[in-house]
Homo-oligomer: A and B are copies of this chain.
Amino acid sequence: MENTRQIEERVRSSGRRMTVQRRAVLAAVQRSRHHVTADEIATRVRATHPRIDPSTVYRNLEALEAIGLVSHSHLEDRITRWHRADVERHGHLVCRACGEETELPAASLAGFERRLQAAHGFRADLGHSAIVGICRECALVPPE
Protein backbone atom coordinates (compact mmCIF):
# COMPACT_ATOMS: atom_id res chain seq x y z
CA MET A 1 0.00 0.00 0.00
CA GLU A 2 1.11 3.52 -0.73
CA ASN A 3 2.11 5.72 2.16
CA THR A 4 0.32 8.86 3.23
CA ARG A 5 2.44 11.25 1.18
CA GLN A 6 1.90 9.31 -2.03
CA ILE A 7 -1.82 9.16 -1.42
CA GLU A 8 -2.09 12.90 -0.79
CA GLU A 9 -0.06 13.57 -3.89
CA ARG A 10 -2.42 11.38 -5.86
CA VAL A 11 -5.43 13.27 -4.55
CA ARG A 12 -3.91 16.66 -5.39
CA SER A 13 -2.68 15.71 -8.82
CA SER A 14 -6.26 14.82 -9.72
CA GLY A 15 -7.21 18.44 -9.06
CA ARG A 16 -8.79 17.60 -5.73
CA ARG A 17 -7.94 18.78 -2.24
CA MET A 18 -7.03 16.79 0.81
CA THR A 19 -9.42 17.85 3.53
CA VAL A 20 -9.83 16.70 7.10
CA GLN A 21 -13.07 15.01 6.08
CA ARG A 22 -11.54 13.19 3.13
CA ARG A 23 -8.66 11.93 5.26
CA ALA A 24 -11.11 10.66 7.88
CA VAL A 25 -13.25 8.81 5.33
CA LEU A 26 -10.23 7.22 3.66
CA ALA A 27 -8.82 6.15 7.02
CA ALA A 28 -12.12 4.60 8.03
CA VAL A 29 -12.27 2.54 4.84
CA GLN A 30 -8.65 1.49 5.17
CA ARG A 31 -9.11 0.34 8.75
CA SER A 32 -12.05 -1.88 7.74
CA ARG A 33 -11.25 -5.36 6.57
CA HIS A 34 -13.90 -5.75 3.88
CA HIS A 35 -17.18 -4.55 2.54
CA VAL A 36 -18.48 -1.85 4.83
CA THR A 37 -21.58 0.18 4.11
CA ALA A 38 -21.43 3.95 3.77
CA ASP A 39 -23.52 4.18 6.88
CA GLU A 40 -20.98 2.19 8.90
CA ILE A 41 -18.22 4.41 7.59
CA ALA A 42 -20.19 7.51 8.54
CA THR A 43 -20.65 6.17 12.06
CA ARG A 44 -16.94 5.46 12.46
CA VAL A 45 -15.99 8.84 11.07
CA ARG A 46 -18.37 10.60 13.40
CA ALA A 47 -16.83 8.85 16.40
CA THR A 48 -13.87 11.19 16.10
CA HIS A 49 -15.38 13.95 13.89
CA PRO A 50 -18.98 14.34 15.04
CA ARG A 51 -19.77 17.25 12.74
CA ILE A 52 -19.02 15.46 9.48
CA ASP A 53 -22.25 15.12 7.55
CA PRO A 54 -23.32 11.83 5.92
CA SER A 55 -23.51 13.59 2.56
CA THR A 56 -19.84 14.47 2.92
CA VAL A 57 -19.06 10.81 3.52
CA TYR A 58 -20.97 9.77 0.41
CA ARG A 59 -19.34 12.44 -1.74
CA ASN A 60 -15.90 11.50 -0.49
CA LEU A 61 -16.41 7.83 -1.16
CA GLU A 62 -17.31 8.74 -4.72
CA ALA A 63 -14.29 11.03 -5.09
CA LEU A 64 -11.92 8.45 -3.60
CA GLU A 65 -13.36 5.86 -5.94
CA ALA A 66 -12.77 8.11 -8.95
CA ILE A 67 -9.13 8.41 -7.90
CA GLY A 68 -8.89 4.67 -7.46
CA LEU A 69 -8.28 4.56 -3.72
CA VAL A 70 -11.50 2.83 -2.75
CA SER A 71 -14.13 0.90 -4.66
CA HIS A 72 -17.57 -0.47 -4.10
CA SER A 73 -19.51 -3.61 -4.86
CA HIS A 74 -22.95 -5.04 -4.20
CA LEU A 75 -23.69 -8.09 -2.11
CA GLU A 76 -27.30 -8.19 -1.14
CA ASP A 77 -29.64 -6.46 -3.53
CA ARG A 78 -29.46 -2.71 -3.53
CA ILE A 79 -26.83 -2.39 -0.79
CA THR A 80 -23.55 -0.71 -1.69
CA ARG A 81 -20.45 -1.84 0.16
CA TRP A 82 -17.10 -0.11 0.15
CA HIS A 83 -13.56 -1.36 0.52
CA ARG A 84 -10.04 -0.19 -0.12
CA ALA A 85 -9.10 -0.52 -3.76
CA ASP A 86 -6.07 -2.71 -3.11
CA VAL A 87 -7.85 -5.76 -1.73
CA GLU A 88 -7.56 -8.67 -4.07
CA ARG A 89 -10.42 -8.81 -6.54
CA HIS A 90 -12.88 -11.60 -5.90
CA GLY A 91 -16.48 -12.57 -6.45
CA HIS A 92 -19.38 -13.49 -4.19
CA LEU A 93 -22.08 -16.11 -4.33
CA VAL A 94 -25.13 -15.10 -2.32
CA CYS A 95 -27.97 -17.50 -1.63
CA ARG A 96 -31.34 -15.84 -2.06
CA ALA A 97 -32.97 -18.35 0.25
CA CYS A 98 -30.70 -18.35 3.32
CA GLY A 99 -28.51 -15.33 2.61
CA GLU A 100 -25.25 -17.20 2.97
CA GLU A 101 -22.37 -15.69 1.08
CA THR A 102 -19.31 -17.45 -0.29
CA GLU A 103 -16.22 -15.79 -1.65
CA LEU A 104 -15.01 -16.77 -5.08
CA PRO A 105 -11.38 -16.32 -6.14
CA ALA A 106 -10.78 -14.01 -9.12
CA ALA A 107 -9.51 -16.99 -11.07
CA SER A 108 -12.98 -18.53 -11.03
CA LEU A 109 -14.35 -15.43 -12.73
CA ALA A 110 -11.67 -15.06 -15.36
CA GLY A 111 -12.92 -17.71 -17.76
CA PHE A 112 -16.37 -16.20 -18.19
CA GLU A 113 -14.89 -12.70 -18.32
CA ARG A 114 -12.64 -13.78 -21.18
CA ARG A 115 -15.61 -15.26 -22.96
CA LEU A 116 -17.53 -12.00 -22.73
CA GLN A 117 -14.49 -10.08 -23.89
CA ALA A 118 -14.09 -12.33 -26.92
CA ALA A 119 -17.77 -12.41 -27.84
CA HIS A 120 -18.77 -8.80 -27.14
CA GLY A 121 -15.57 -6.84 -26.59
CA PHE A 122 -16.97 -6.19 -23.14
CA ARG A 123 -14.53 -6.08 -20.24
CA ALA A 124 -16.71 -7.44 -17.47
CA ASP A 125 -16.03 -7.00 -13.78
CA LEU A 126 -17.78 -9.99 -12.28
CA GLY A 127 -16.61 -9.01 -8.82
CA HIS A 128 -18.74 -5.89 -8.80
CA SER A 129 -22.09 -7.49 -8.11
CA ALA A 130 -22.66 -10.64 -6.15
CA ILE A 131 -23.91 -13.63 -8.09
CA VAL A 132 -27.26 -14.61 -6.63
CA GLY A 133 -28.78 -18.05 -6.71
CA ILE A 134 -29.54 -21.01 -4.47
CA CYS A 135 -26.81 -22.63 -2.42
CA ARG A 136 -26.28 -26.36 -2.19
CA GLU A 137 -28.01 -26.74 1.18
CA CYS A 138 -31.07 -24.71 0.24
CA ALA A 139 -31.45 -26.63 -3.00
CA LEU A 140 -31.90 -29.77 -0.91
CA VAL A 141 -33.85 -28.38 2.05
CA PRO A 142 -35.44 -24.97 1.56
CA PRO A 143 -35.25 -22.95 4.80
CA GLU A 144 -38.46 -22.34 6.77
Where the two chains meet, the residues of A that have a C-beta atom closer than 8 Å to any C-beta of B are 74, 77-78, 80, 93, 95-96, 102, 104, 108, 111-112, 115-116, 119-126, 128-136, 139
Partner of A121, one of B122, B125, B130, B139: B139
| B115 and A135 contacting across the interface, CB-CB below 8 Å | no
Partner of A102, one of B102, B120, B128, B132: B120
Give A83 to B124 CA distance when docked, in angstroms. Answer: 24
| A93 and B111 contacting across the interface, CB-CB below 8 Å | no
Minimum Cβ distance to chain B for residue A102 (Å): 7
Q: Which residues of B contact A126 (CB under 8 A)?
A: 131
Q: Jot down 19 A-B pairs with beta carbons below 8 A, ordered by A.
A: A74-B78, A77-B80, A93-B120, A93-B124, A96-B125, A102-B122, A108-B115, A108-B119, A116-B133, A120-B136, A122-B131, A122-B135, A123-B134, A123-B139, A124-B131, A124-B133, A128-B132, A129-B130, A129-B132
| A115 and B111 contacting across the interface, CB-CB below 8 Å | yes
11 extra interface residue pairs, beta carbon distance < 8 Å, beyond A112-B112, A128-B132 = A74-B77, A93-B116, A93-B122, A95-B122, A104-B120, A108-B115, A108-B119, A116-B131, A123-B134, A123-B139, A129-B129
Give A7 to B123 CA distance when docked, in angstroms. Answer: 42
Minimum Cβ distance to chain B for residue A61 (Å): 13
Q: Which residues of B contact A112 (CB under 8 A)?
A: 111-112, 115
